[in-house]
């Protein structure tokens, strides 16, 4: 298909598509004449993936480039691709907080306790330490004590169904793509669900006896 | 204490503290002379909360202003404050995606199925619909089918321990603050845990028999 058709199908403007090609996110179309290129379903699929990672996942263009390179590298084991995706969606913290070293200890201990086969210096472990340190700084250090294992338990349950879903995919490319989509978009799904569950739990605990949204 | 001492204790620079006062995030200090103000522990605590919401929660200054106003409004029921916090940490989507209306149906159905007392047109419900629509667009519509209820179950478990934690707080201000902290920082904690659990599950499923991070 021509670039105009690709744009129409995906809702991404022609200049934006060209920008993604220049930035190395999307492979160039096959040249059919000196100033015309042809795109196929692979381009369409990749373009939708880029938009999802960008819009819903909140990844940067550089982050997406890295994740896509990992997907496209046939030598890269699937669990390493997942690591790359996981690292890119973790916020990076440049400044060191005072309580981070103690929080890192907590994280290492949690990883040991759960028997997780993960690197306790990975960006995700570091992001957890930063979040725990922030809780400590606002006077909620006991959050970790009360809730960390319940959170870890829920995270394991979610990760288990994620991996079961991924395991249904046939073929490496689809499988790896499912891992990335699950990591990035699954976060958005879970975050929204957690908020809804909060509002529900809070309405039950603090709300009026008969909430406006109760019943049909 | 003087503003310099407040800065030293919290690690926030004096110009930044002044900026927060101008932006209405932090109450002004008590004037002790025409050009000197005094700050107390309440300021220090609030300043730490602002930094946590900003750095770890990723809220905007305008979002924080709204959340703090909800905390400070003694007339506002606790579950409404939670709603405000939940709404502010949900990414806002300006452009409508093609698949969103169908995804909204899915969300309403899920809310009914779980018996959640939540508004199915709240920002969190909308964020969920947008994430599901994005999954659909990248060819993973069956994600919802396979995983949505497992995710919802895990979200309920997390929300339950969150509310138990909140319920331990004494006094409205502390309670409301705990709700906000739990909503915003709990997200960062869970996101990091989910990633660690993914890496672990993936290492078990796809990794080498003995991973480098196994054992002590």
This prediction has a pTM of 0.72
Separation in Å, CA of B91 to nearest CA in chain A = 8
**ipTM for this model:** 0.72
**Other CB atoms within 10 A of residue A147 CB:** 22
Give the highest mean pLDDT range of A4-18, A160-174, B40-54, B151-165. Answer: A4-18
* Cβ-based contacts of A11 with chain B (< 8 Å): 97-98
Identify the CA nearest to A62 among candidates A84, A93, A94: A84
Residue ranges of domains in chain A: 1-55, 56-206
Say what angle helices B14-22 and B41-51 make with each other, to 10 degrees.
90
* Cβ-based contacts of B116 with chain A (< 8 Å): 196-197, 199-200
pLDDT at B4 over 80: yes
Quick check: A11 and A44 in contact, CB under 8 A?
Answer: no
pLDDT at A214 over 70: no
The rounded mean pLDDT for chain A is 80
Q: Which two tokens stand for residue A138?
A: 């606002």
CA atoms of B87 and B67, how far apart (whole Å): 9
Give the highest mean pLDDT range of A37-41, A130-134, B191-195. Answer: A37-41
Pick the CATH number of A1-55 from 3.40.1500.10, 1.10.1660.10, 3.30.530.20, 3.40.50.10490: 1.10.1660.10
Find the residue in A nearest to B84 (Cα). Answer: A199
SS3 assignment, position B156: helix
Dump pLDDT digits (tens) for A99-125. Answer: 788 889 999 999 999 998 888 888 788
CA atoms of A118 and A208, how far apart (whole Å): 44
Least confident of A159-163, B81-85, B206-210: B206-210
CB contacts < 8 A, A to B, total 331
Mutation choice for B interface testing from A134, A169, A173, A177 by most B CBs within 10 A: A134
């Amino acid at each position: 298909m021509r670039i105009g058709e690709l744009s129409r199908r995906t809702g991404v403007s022609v200049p934006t598509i060209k920008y993604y090609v220049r930035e190395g996110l999307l492979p160039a179309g096959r040249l059919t004449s000196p100033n015309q290129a042809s795109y196929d379903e692979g381009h369409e699929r990749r373009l939708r993936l880029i938009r999802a990672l960008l819009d819903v996942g909140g990844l940067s263009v550089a982050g997406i480039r890295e994740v896509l390179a990992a997907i496209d590298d046939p030598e890269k084991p699937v669990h390493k691709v997942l690591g790359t995706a996981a690292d890119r969606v973790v916020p990076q913290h440049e400044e060191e907080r005072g309580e981070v070293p103690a929080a890192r200890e907590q994280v290492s201990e949690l990883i040991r306790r759960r028997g997780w086969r993960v690197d306790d210096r990975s960006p995700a472990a570091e992001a957890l330490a930063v979040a725990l340190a922030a809780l400590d700084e606002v006077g909620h250090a006991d959050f970790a004590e009360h809730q960390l294992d319940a959170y870890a338990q829920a995270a394991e349950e979610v990760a288990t169904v994620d991996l079961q879903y991924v395991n249904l995919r046939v073929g490496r490319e689809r499988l790896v793509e499912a891992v990335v989509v699950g990591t990035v978009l699954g976060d958005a799904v879970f975050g929204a669900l957690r908020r809804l569950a909060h509002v529900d739990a809070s309405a039950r605990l603090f709300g009026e006896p008969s909430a406006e949204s109760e019943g049909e």
